[in-house]
Amino acid sequence: YQSSGDRSSDYEWHCFWRTYYGDYLRMLFEMVRERGVTVPLFHNLPGWIYGHGYDFPLNITMYEDLYGEKSEIIFGIDHIPEFVSYRNMHDDRAINDITRAMQGKKPLFAAEFQSGSREYHVVPNPREMELFYKASIANGLTGWNYYMFSQGKNPLRKGYSGDTFYWFTPLTADGERTSAFPLVKKMSKILNTTESLILNAQRKAEVCVLFYPPYYATELERPEVGASNLQFVPAAIRRPAYFDGLIKVLQLLNIDYDMADLTRTNGDKLNKYEQVWVFSTDEMNANDQQTVVDYVKLGGNAVLFPNLPYREMNQSPCNIIRNALQATPTGHEIIDSPLIDILDFKDVKCANPQMVYSDES
């Protein structure tokens, strides 16, 4: 970007595309209904890249004009972890929570639930996949379509990666059972026994994590080279600070939490939580800043990091949070490998820059 005004126009451009995506899918929906098709319609939300889902929320934000009561479309998510490990075990919970926060009360359904592998050298382990399946259920998933349940054969010269589509599936292209089939059979028995318990289970959380869609509306974003004078660029820090940071830490500490879309909630709705975590950078729109302030004024405890916003997404000055909290940074410091002590924890590694506040703040 050449200036903050340039960044502002880019934000409006992304807002336009979210309306355009919505109009296009509504047109397709109406065409289907006009032809007498009455079955529920799903739209697929992809986003796992080589076994990681940290950019999945970007795709979720593309359809914000269709969530809730705005359409009948149900959005089905993808879960393709490839190899299950400490690095990605939290991803499905984060994706489930963000989708639910934006979509509302519609079923949380996995349109593509990994069963096999697109690449021959990526060999899923049935025992690892069982752990992932059960974790996904515990994390709110209420339905899925195995992808792929059976292997396929592509027509000559039509295959993206040769004549075989998907490997290590429960069934081969000839209908023969593989080592992955017993797991599918086992999961079916578990679901037949516990279905009502799963569907009626309720999460009990005293903590809420806010999701802010504008921070992920970046599919067309250009490089930020400093002309916008931002201390923190959302696209650059959202993975380590938010997706692989805050959300992962809460799960590792076994702290149950709910997630809410900051643009669709208010102080009264948030007031039932003892604590609300807000991933906030330099930018946040006025209405959304006011929501945070309203929650605090009602007696709530809000944790905001890494910065207190001072401008809207269109780059207009906006200090609602700073003024309400009477807290304004006096500057910032960039320290090589910054370490801080907080409560009883010593040498906690932090990101740069460090925002500095006066004692009065």
What pLDDT score was predicted for residue 360?
78
Tokens representing 64? 């914000």
**On the CB side of 280, how many CA atoms lie within 13 Å of its CA?**
28
Distance (Å, rounded) from C-alpha 162 to C-alpha 151? 13
Tokens representing 222? 């250009």
Three-state SS string over 181-201 comes to HHHHHHHHHHHHHHHHHHHHC
- The full set of domains in the chain, from first to last, is 40-200 (3.20.20.80), 207-357 (no CATH)
Distance (Å, rounded) from C-alpha 305 to C-alpha 351? 11
For residue 309, give Cα distances in angstroms to 2, 284, 305: 21, 6, 10
> Which portions of the chain are predicted below pLDDT 70?
none
The residues that bridge with 245 in the sheet, in sequence order, are none
The beta-carbon contacts of 163-167 under 8 Å, at least 24 apart in sequence, are 165/118, 166/116, 166/117, 166/118, 167/116, 167/117, 167/118, 167/119, 167/120, 167/123
DSSP-derived 3-state class of residue 24: helix
Three-state SS string over 105-169 comes to CCCCEEEEEECCECCCCCCCCHHHHHHHHHHHHHCCCCEEEEECCECEECCCCCCCCCCEECECC
Contact 46, 59 (CB under 8 A): yes
DSSP-derived 3-state class of residue 320: helix
Helix, strand, coil in percent for the chain, rounding step 5: 40, 20, 40
What pLDDT score was predicted for residue 336?
86
What pLDDT score was predicted for residue 139?
94
Distance (Å, rounded) from C-alpha 272 to C-alpha 163? 55
What pLDDT score was predicted for residue 342?
85
Q: Report pLDDT digits (tens) over 3-54.
A: 999 999 999 999 999 999 999 999 999 999 999 999 999 999 989 999 999 9
Three-state SS string over 27-74 comes to HHHHHHHHCCCCCCCEEEECCCECCECCCHHHHHHCCHHHCHHHCCCE
